[in-house]
Chains A and B, each alone.
Chain A
Amino acid sequence: MTDKYLIFLGCAIPYRVSGFEISSRKVLAKLGVELVEMPEFNCCGLPLDPVSHETMLIMAAKNLALAEQQGLNILTLCPGCAGTLKKVNKILKADKAQREEVNNHLKEVGLEFKGAIETKHLLQLLKEDIGIEKIKASVVRPLTNFKVAEHNGCHILRPKEYIGFDDPEDPQTLKLLIEATGATCLDYIDETECCGAPSVGVSDKVALALAKDKLSHIKQVDAQALITICPFCHIMYDTNELRIEKLFNETYGIPILHYPQLLGLAMGLTPEELAFNELRVNPSNMLKQLTQGANKT
């Protein structure tokens, strides 16, 4: 078991979703995972893939090569970064011609991709390295009577060929991790559907309609919160929930939590420590319900 990881933040989290980073660092510290900070890292490359696959390959390989110099595996919080680094690692390890091409670029900055390390997303680390039992054991304040829904998002699961630690059609990891906190994870229709975030800007109509239907399905099962593990999904629901409510004349009021915020509450950390103040959808009613629910048992 590796307890030491290089943390890879990517762009979206430091740009807009610091609550995810703060809460992740808090719970990982409690679980005894040591995070090593890198002096240099770049964008993983994924945002440029649509316009230049070559740029994506070089950027991802550059990050992997930097991590290889440290001899440590990478932990990411963003599934987009995790997927990209995993995929490029696999492609370049298998394809000598592409590896040489990319290494010609990396030579310019004194780096070489060797394929010596692996990348894991937070979810995979919690499941495989820490284990559900240890997470259950870390819970001091079980979230009994708290009913939530989960949203995995796409890049944590697909393409299966490159990610492959969970079943994209019926994923279980996030559900198990939610239930480890004592909360109930509700089923709803179209659980594995995309949040729509990547279409924002190209067609807001499509993106917001996708997110709206998901929020409606989540409301139908009376979820008290939605749990995400991706910065983009989180922005899509949390930042846009009010906008969707206005646009479609709906009322949701469903707080969107990062999974480590949920786990952190169960570990006895306070909402302040877990950066609940960064959330756009006000979680105060939910937190009240949570205290009342806990008192009932």
Chain B
Amino acid sequence: MLSNSISARLDLMAEVAANPTQNTEKPIKASELDPKFKYELQKMHGSEKILKCFQCGTCTSDCPVARYSDDYRPRTLIHMAQLGLKDRVLNSNTLWLCAACFTCTDRCPQDVEVAAVIRVFRNLAAEKGCIPQVFKDQAQSLIESGYAYKIPELRIKKRESQGLPPLPKGNPDNVKRALKGVKFIEGLQKPASTGETTK
């Protein structure tokens, strides 16, 4: 799956590389600020404590991705959200660079659960349809097979010759039934719609 996703998301990576300062370059207009965004976030699971962030920068200085990337800065993303730059945060490609290693979460002196806040941003971006292809593929595979990676028939057959017991059934029908009503999953099953979710 890793090598598949490598090619699947190369274009996104090129885009990030080509627009390194896309989120900060344009001057901020007062009209693009959403003053209620931070309160919205406070009510969501994972980002309850976003207002406790006092911008110390521990998350960014300890972030392994930030060390190797010129663009990904968790502190900046949180600050932008606190300011109400909702669209810039949710449209940011760098959002998808977080490796979810949870170093920031464990070290944040304010207990902000930084990785969970980033995850909330990603979930909101996904609702708007901003989502790297690899995640669409994984969700599709989950609905079709019960597993996030489609395990090839050959692999399943090979298990026997390797002395391994059969793989538990993915039961995709039950997966679909259990996920009924989940907005993200239902959006996937519909043919590409134009209607973006509005608040």
Please, which residues of chain B bring their CB within 8 A of the CB of A51?
122-123, 126, 131, 135, 139, 184
Please, which residues of chain A bring their CB within 8 A of the CB of B166?
37
Please, which residues of chain A bring their CB within 8 A of the CB of B159?
14, 18
Please, which residues of chain B bring their CB within 8 A of the CB of A159?
102, 105-106, 113, 115
Query: Do A22 and B184 have beta carbons less than 8 Å apart?
Result: no
Contacts A48-B142, A51-B135, A52-B126 given; indicate if A14 touches B181 (C-beta within 8 A): no
A168 nearest in chain B by CB position: B106
Complex Cα gap A58–B139 (Å): 13
Please, which residues of chain A bring their CB within 8 A of the CB of B105?
158-159
Complex Cα gap A98–B134 (Å): 28
Asked if A30 CB lies within 8 Å of chain B CBs, one says no
Query: Do A38 and B168 have beta carbons less than 8 Å apart?
Result: yes
Per-position 1/0 for B167-178, Cβ under 8 A of A: 111110011011
Query: Do A201 and B5 have beta carbons less than 8 Å apart?
Result: yes
Query: Do A49 and B119 have beta carbons less than 8 Å apart?
Result: yes
Contact among A25, A43, A50, A204 for B6, CB-based, below 8 A: A204
B99 nearest in chain A by CB position: A198
Asked if B65 CB lies within 8 Å of chain A CBs, one says yes
Does more than half of chain B's interface fall in helix, strand or loop, or is it mixed?
Answer: helix
Number of A-B pairs whose CB atoms are under 8 Å?
Answer: 209
Asked if A4 CB lies within 8 Å of chain B CBs, one says no
CB distance from A182 to the nearest CB of B (A): 27
Query: Do B167 and A14 have beta carbons less than 8 Å apart?
Result: yes
Query: Do A55 and B184 have beta carbons less than 8 Å apart?
Result: yes
Contact among A41, A43, A160, A239 for B2, CB-based, below 8 A: A239
Query: Do B151 and A50 have beta carbons less than 8 Å apart?
Result: no
Query: Do B142 and A42 have beta carbons less than 8 Å apart?
Result: yes
Contact among B2, B68, B149, B174 for A11, CB-based, below 8 A: B149
Best-surrounded residue of A50, A106, A197 (most CB of chain B within 10 A): A50
CB distance from B154 to the nearest CB of A (A): 11
Asked if B53 CB lies within 8 Å of chain A CBs, one says no
Complex Cα gap A238–B10 (Å): 21
Contact among A43, A111, A203 for B147, CB-based, below 8 A: A43
Please, which residues of chain A bring their CB within 8 A of the CB of B55?
none
In the complex, given contacts A108-B178, A198-B100, A239-B3, what are 8 additional A-B residue pairs having Cβ atoms less than 8 angstroms apart?
Answer: A14-B167, A15-B155, A47-B148, A158-B101, A194-B65, A197-B2, A198-B101, A240-B2
Chain B residues proximal to chain A, CB less than 8 Å = 1-3, 5-6, 8-10, 12-13, 16-17, 45-46, 64-65, 68-69, 72, 96-103, 105-106, 113, 115, 119-120, 122-123, 126, 131-132, 134-135, 138-139, 142, 146-149, 151-152, 155-156, 158-159, 162-171, 174-175, 177-185
